[in-house]
Amino acid sequence: MLNFDPLEQFSIELYSSFFNTLGTGSFSSIGFMSIFVFFLVMFCYYSSNSVFLLNKFQKGIISLFQFVLGILKDSLSIKKYSFILLFFSTFLFIFISNLLGMIPYSMTITSHLILTLYFSLAFFIGNNLIGICFHREKYFVLFLPEGVPTPIIPFLILIEYVSYISRIFSLAIRLFANMMSGHILLKILISFI
């Protein structure tokens, strides 16, 4: 009888013997899949550059772009959508990573906490830098709502700051936990068949 391990898909393997001969150090399965997904995202951009005679794949990429643009229009109050490519690239990366994770014997890189923590930390730092550049000192009004009594101000700023910093971990853990639990559940259900 075969040993069944639902966590086998999430194990990280080091490919150090091949890459040590090249002198580049170790390379893991997460790095390999990340590069593979990156090239798939670049392929999606490259294949959708023709405006005339769109095939079904190009129409799908354009509909995904319009989906992300619609979400940004609803949630952002920026007149110019200068960050649309950043959001669309991140969306495509996570979307393709999750789809590749559904293929048997492949690896889901979004089910690893280190990658989701990287994404949430990068967006948190970028969001703060862009907010400070655009709004200057008005950006820090975020931590202090209007009409707060003076004795409560230090405690409220501390609570707001802690809740603002905890966004990094809540975003990372949400994607990690959803992907990990969903794939484990699918693998367990498939093993019953």
What are the respective helix, strand and coil percentages of the chain, to the nearest 5? 75, 0, 25
pLDDT of residue 50 exceeding 70, the answer is no
Q: pLDDT tens digit string along 154-167?
A: 888 888 888 888 98
* Distance (Å, whole) CA 28 – CA 33: 9
Q: Is 51 helix (H, G, I), strand (E, B) or coil?
A: coil
Q: Which sequence spans correspond to the domains of the chain?
A: 1-109, 112-193
**Is pLDDT above 60 for 3?**
no
pTM over 0.85: no
Residue 9 DSSP class: G
pLDDT confidence band for 44 (50 / 70 / 90): confident
